[in-house]
Amino acid sequence: MSDQWNLAYTCQCIAGYDGTTCNNNIDDCASSPCQNGGSCTDLVNDFKCNCTGTGFNGTKCQTNIDDCLSGPCQNGGTCTDGINGNFFIRLLLLLTSSNKPWNLAYTCSCVSGYNGPTCNNNIDDCYSGACENGGQCIDGINTYTCDCTGTGFDGSICQNNIDDCEIDSCENGGTCIDGINCNSSFSSFFNIWLKWFIK
């Protein structure tokens, strides 16, 4: 005999409930529908995922938020999206072999001449000794120039002593001996010493 003949009544429950009197709200979170560490709240024949702090969004926290959309990398840097979640979410993704950079919201690959988390820093190309013989180094983008003014030298790094004898500066058959024509007390002393030495 059918079970319904043993009951005074039977209840046909609407979606989301079960039990003899439809008194039980079916737990729609039991199947763990929220992904990537999202927290599940049971509703009636439905659920809601809270994706806060996971770095994901969507009805099931299934979509990685693209942190590169805001263009965080400067000066021509290339942005690679990561996971902008809390530590536990990042650890979970690391353990599940996510192919995203698990420890940062994004990473920037900088073009030559720049570095820093967002490629915001112009690398100082005026390293020690870039310009010779007292030349002043002027930093550029992945390069530098040397200002040789007043040094008595020229060339890309002020490496060439300017030959001041190219212009015939000695009269009456005098022989010109090139010195260092710069605006420094050292060079003045050197030139005086040189003239004394060659007498």
Query: What domains are defined for the chain?
Result: 66-121 (2.10.25.10), 124-163 (2.10.25.10)
State the DSSP string of 81-148. Answer: E-----HHHHHHHHHTT-SS-TTSSEEEEPPTTEESTTS-EE-----TTSSSTTPEEEE-SS-EEEE-
> How crowded is residue 30: how many other Cβ atoms within 10 Å of its Cβ?
10
Distances from the Cα of 35 to the Cαs of 39, 44, 102, 192, 193, in angstroms? 8, 20, 16, 83, 82
What's this model's pTM, rounded to 2 decimal places? 0.58
Taking the CA of residue 93 as centre, how many other CA atoms within 13 Å lie in the half-sphere pointing to its CB?
A: 26
pLDDT tens digits in sequence order for the chain, 199 residues long: 444 555 688 999 999 999 999 999 999 999 999 999 899 999 999 999 999 988 899 999 999 999 999 999 999 999 998 877 665 665 665 566 555 554 578 889 999 999 999 999 999 999 877 999 999 999 999 999 999 999 999 999 999 998 877 766 666 666 676 665 655 444 444 444 444 444 4
Angstrom distance (rounded) from CA 164 to CA 66? 63
